[in-house]
A and B are shown apart, each in its own frame.
Chain A
Amino acid sequence: MVMENIIEVKQLTKKYKEVTAVDGISFSVSAGEIFGILGPNGAGKTTTLEMIEGLKGITSGQATLDGHDVSKHAHLVKSLIGVQLQSSSFFDLLSLKELLETFASLYNRKVDAMELLREVQLEEKAKTYVKELSGGQKQRFSIAAALVNDPKVLFLDEPTTGLDPQARRNLWELISTINKKGKTVVLTTHYMDEAEILCDRIAIMDNAHIVALDTTPNLLKLPGLETSLHFRVDKECSTEHLQKLEGVTRAEHEDHSYKLTTGNAEATLGSLFKHAKECGFKLIDLQLHQPTLEDVFLKLTGHALRE
C-alpha cells in the first residue's frame, strides 16, 4: 500500500527564548513529489526542515514521516531519510569513496560507492578529497552522501545557493532524475526560478508562517496578480483608446511610456498591434510582464523576496 502523504506536519512550532522561528505551520507532502519551501533568509525554512529531520527539537505541534512521529522516533526517521544540510561539509582527510563508505556504515549498510558517485557524475573524483571539489561538485557529492541509505525522502536545504547558473541547471537535472526514480524530495530555496522549475508544489514561507501553498500554476492565479504590457510609442496616443482594447483592465502612461494591465494578454496584444497600425504609431520596447512567484510573494507579504 502506498501511503499518500509521506510527511504530515501539523501546527509545527519552534520557539527560542526571544523569537518564534516557526509559528504553527501545517502541510503535507505526498509520496513521490518534489515539495519546495520558498522564502527569504530567516523565514524559518531551515528550522522547519531540521525539525522534520529530527535535528531540532519541536516546541509544539507534530511532524510525522512515513507514519512515524518524528519527535518520538527520531532514530527511525533518520534511517528513512537522506539529508543535505545547508552548509554541510565532510571530513577533510577522507576521499569521496571513503566518505560514502563511512557514511553508509553510519546506517549499518554497505554501499556501492562507485555506483553512487557515477550517479552524481563524480566517478573520476573517487580518490580526491572534498576540499578539491568545485561548488557544484560539492553539492552533488553532498546529495550522493544523502543517498547512501536509499532514503524514502531526500531533504535538500538550499541546494543551489552560491552556485553558478551552469552548475545550478546541472543540479536541477540531478534532482529531477532522483525524483523520477521514485524519491520524494523536499527542498528549500530562495530562488523563484528553482522553485518554479523543480517543484510540484510550493509552500511560500515568510516570517515563520506559510503564506501560501499550492502548485506553481495555481499560485500564479492568485487574484490580484496581473499581466501587463509595457511599451513606448513614437507618437502621442490616447490612453482612452488603449483602455478600450480587448482584455485591458487598466491603462496608464507616463511621458511616452505606457502600461496596459490585462486579464488576457494574447487578445490584448492582437488588438494593440491592430490599433497601432490604424493610428499609425510605432510600438517601441514592447514588453510582456507575466506574474512570477516574485509577484505572488510580494502580493502575499507586501515585501520583495530578496531585499
Chain B
Amino acid sequence: MRTLLTLTKSSIKMFYRNKQALFFTFFSPLLIMLIFGAIGLDKVQKIDVGLALSVPPTAGTAQFVEALKQVPSFTIHEGIESDLRDQIGNDKLSAVFLIPGDLIPDNPAPLESVLNPGLDTVPAAPAANTSETRTVTVLTNSGQAQQAGIAASIMGEVLDKTALKISGGASLFKLETQEINSNHLKYVDFLLPGLIALSLMQMSVFSTAFVFTNYKEKGILKRLIATPMRPATFVGANVITRLIVSFIQVFTFIIVGVLYLKAHVIGSYWLIALIAIVGSVMFLGLGFTISGFSKTTESVPALANLIVFPMLFLGGTFFPISSFPVWLQHIAKYLPLTYLSDSLRQVMTKAACFGDIRSDLLWMLAWSIILVGTANITFGFEEKRQ
C-alpha cells in the first residue's frame, strides 16, 4: 500500500512536470472551448420561429401573417401548434407564435406599412369593432432564450404598431409568453460535454501510450521488475494518477464552460464523476493497448491517431450523430467516445438519472473489458524477444 502511495505521488509529480502533456490535457481543450466561445456559433442571423393559427384566418389576419413573414430577422415556419411545440422541444425553433385566426377581424390598415420602419406616419385606419382583446401567445425555447426573447419583442412591437394603426392606440392585443424546455440547449451546452469526453479520451490514450512506450523503450519497466514491485501496483499508481487528472479536467472545463461560455450544467456531479471514471478506464485500456503494440515512442502518434482521430469527428464531440448520413450513424453510435459524450451530455444538459444512461454505461463497460483485455494481452513489462 505504501508502495502504491509513493508510486502514485511520484507519478503525479511526473505528470505535472510534463509540460507537453499538461498542454494537451488542459490547455488545448480550453483553447478550443474559448475559440468556439469567441466565434459564438449561437449568434445566427435569422431566428427560426413557428407560426400557428388557431382558426382559419380572417383576411386581415392573413395579411398580418404575410407581413410578419417580411420581417428580416425571422424565418417563419407555419404549422399546427402541436407540431411546432415538438419542434421547440427538438430545438429546431427558437419561438412559436400562436395567433388567433380572428386576430384582426376586418378591413385592417395596410399592414406592410406598419412593419416597415419609417412609415409610422401613415394615417391610422378607423377603429374597427374591437370589443375584446386578442391574445397572441409566444412559446419561447428556454435553450435559445436570447433568440426567443428577440422574437417575442419584435412580435410585441409589431402588435403595438398594428394596434396603433387600427385603433389609434387602444390595447387591442395582448402578448403572452410561455417558456418551453427544449431537449437540446445552446451549442455550447452540446459542445461542453463532448469536449470533456474528447479531452478525457485524449489524456487517457496519449498520456499512457506515450509514457508507457517510453518506459518500455528505455528499459525503465525492466528496471522496475528487477525490484520486488508487482507490475499491477505500478499500473495502479498510474491509473490513479490519470483518474485524478481526469476529475480535474472535467471540473476545470465545467467551471470554464459555465463561467465563460454560460453553459448550463444541470445534472448530478456524482453521475458525471462516475461516467468520467468508466470512460477514463476504457480509454486507459486503449492507451495501454497502443503502447503494447508500439515498439518506439515515434510509432505512438501514428497508431493512436489512427484510432482516436476518426472518433474525434464521429464520437459526437462537435456534431450530433443524428446529423450524419444513416450508414455513418451505424458506425458512429458504437464508438467508445460516442457513449462517453452521449452519457455526459444526457447528464449535464438533461439531468439524466442513472437509469437513463444505463445503456451508455454498459456499453462503456463492455468496451472497457475489451480494451483492458487487449491491453493485458499486448502490454507486458517483460520484453519479448523476437
Q: Answer yes or no: do A and B interact.
A: yes
Q: Which residues of A contact B (CB under 8 A)?
A: 16, 53-55, 75-76, 78-79, 83, 85, 87-94, 98, 101-103, 105-108, 149
B219 touches A85 (CB 8 A): yes
B10 touches A108 (CB 8 A): no
Quick one: CB contact mask for B214-246 with A, threshold 8 Å, 1 for yes? 110011101111111100000000000000000
B228 touches A75 (CB 8 A): yes
Please provide the 10 A-B residue pairs with the shortest distance between their CB atoms, ordered closest to farther.
A105-B6, A106-B229, A83-B226, A93-B17, A106-B227, A93-B14, A89-B218, A79-B228, A88-B223, A102-B10
28 residue pairs A–B, Cβ–Cβ below 8 Å:
A53-B226, A55-B222, A55-B382, A76-B228, A78-B228, A83-B223, A85-B219, A88-B222, A89-B218, A89-B220, A89-B223, A90-B220, A90-B223, A91-B10, A91-B220, A94-B10, A98-B10, A101-B6, A102-B10, A105-B5, A105-B6, A106-B3, A106-B228, A106-B229, A107-B227, A107-B229, A108-B2, A149-B227
Identify B222's interface contact among A16, A75, A79, A85, CB under 8 A.
A85
CA distance A54 to B5 in the complex (A): 25
> Which residues from 196 to 225 on chain B have a C-beta closer than 8 Å to any C-beta of chain A?
214-215, 218-220, 222-225
A87 touches B219 (CB 8 A): yes
> Which residues from 165 to 217 on chain B have a C-beta closer than 8 Å to any C-beta of chain A?
214-215
B308 to chain A, nearest CB (A): 24
CA distance A16 to B184 in the complex (A): 61
CA distance A103 to B227 in the complex (A): 8
Residues of A within 8 A of B5 (CB): 105
CA distance A78 to B18 in the complex (A): 31
Residues of B within 8 A of A53 (CB): 226
A91 to chain B, nearest CB (A): 6
Residues of B within 8 A of A79 (CB): 227-228
A72 to chain B, nearest CB (A): 15
B14 touches A91 (CB 8 A): yes
CA distance A55 to B220 in the complex (A): 13
Residues of B within 8 A of A108 (CB): 2-3, 228
Residues of B within 8 A of A54 (CB): 226
Identify A93's interface contact among B18, B222, B223, CB under 8 A.
B18
Beta-carbon nearest neighbor of A21 in chain B = B385
A85 touches B2 (CB 8 A): no
CA distance A94 to B229 in the complex (A): 18
Residues of A within 8 A of B228 (CB): 75-76, 78-79, 106-108
Q: Count of chain B residues with Cβ under 8 Å from any Cβ of A?
A: 25
A232 to chain B, nearest CB (A): 51
- Can you add 14 more A-B contacts, CB < 8 Å, to A88-B222, A90-B223, A93-B14? A16-B385, A55-B225, A75-B228, A76-B228, A78-B226, A85-B223, A91-B10, A93-B13, A93-B18, A103-B227, A105-B5, A106-B228, A107-B229, A108-B3
Beta-carbon nearest neighbor of B214 in chain A = A92
Question: A87-B219, A102-B6, A105-B3 are contacts. A92–B225 as well, Cβ < 8 Å?
Answer: no
Identify B14's interface contact among A94, A101, A107, A149, CB under 8 A.
A94
Residues of B within 8 A of A101 (CB): 6
CA distance A107 to B229 in the complex (A): 7
Q: Is B155 an interface residue (CB 8 A)?
A: no
Residues of A within 8 A of B14 (CB): 91-94
CA distance A79 to B227 in the complex (A): 6
Residues of B within 8 A of A55 (CB): 222, 225-226, 382
> Which residues from 1 to 27 on chain B have a C-beta closer than 8 Å to any C-beta of chain A?
2-3, 5-7, 10, 13-14, 17-18
CA distance A54 to B3 in the complex (A): 20
Residues of A within 8 A of B3 (CB): 105-106, 108
Residues of B within 8 A of A94 (CB): 10, 13-14
B223 to chain A, nearest CB (A): 4
CA distance A78 to B218 in the complex (A): 21
CA distance A76 to B227 in the complex (A): 10
CA distance A93 to B18 in the complex (A): 7
B277 to chain A, nearest CB (A): 25
Identify A89's interface contact among B7, B10, B18, B219, CB under 8 A.
B219
Residues of A within 8 A of B224 (CB): 106
Beta-carbon nearest neighbor of A75 in chain B = B228
Beta-carbon nearest neighbor of A102 in chain B = B10
B2 touches A105 (CB 8 A): yes
B74 to chain A, nearest CB (A): 58
B335 to chain A, nearest CB (A): 33
Beta-carbon nearest neighbor of A129 in chain B = B17
CA distance A88 to B383 in the complex (A): 13
> Which residues from 57 to 74 on chain B have a C-beta closer than 8 Å to any C-beta of chain A?
none
A80 to chain B, nearest CB (A): 9
Q: Which of A88, A93, A101 has the most CB of B within 10 A?
A: A93
Beta-carbon nearest neighbor of B220 in chain A = A89
CA distance A106 to B229 in the complex (A): 5
B222 touches A98 (CB 8 A): no
Residues of A within 8 A of B17 (CB): 93
CA distance A130 to B305 in the complex (A): 31
Residues of B within 8 A of A91 (CB): 10, 14, 215, 220
Quick one: CB contact mask for B276-288 with A, threshold 8 Å, 1 for yes? 0000000000000
CA distance A53 to B222 in the complex (A): 11
CA distance A53 to B225 in the complex (A): 10
Residues of A within 8 A of B2 (CB): 105, 108
Beta-carbon nearest neighbor of B217 in chain A = A89
A193 to chain B, nearest CB (A): 27
Residues of B within 8 A of A149 (CB): 227
CA distance A54 to B381 in the complex (A): 13
Residues of A within 8 A of B218 (CB): 89
Beta-carbon nearest neighbor of B233 in chain A = A106
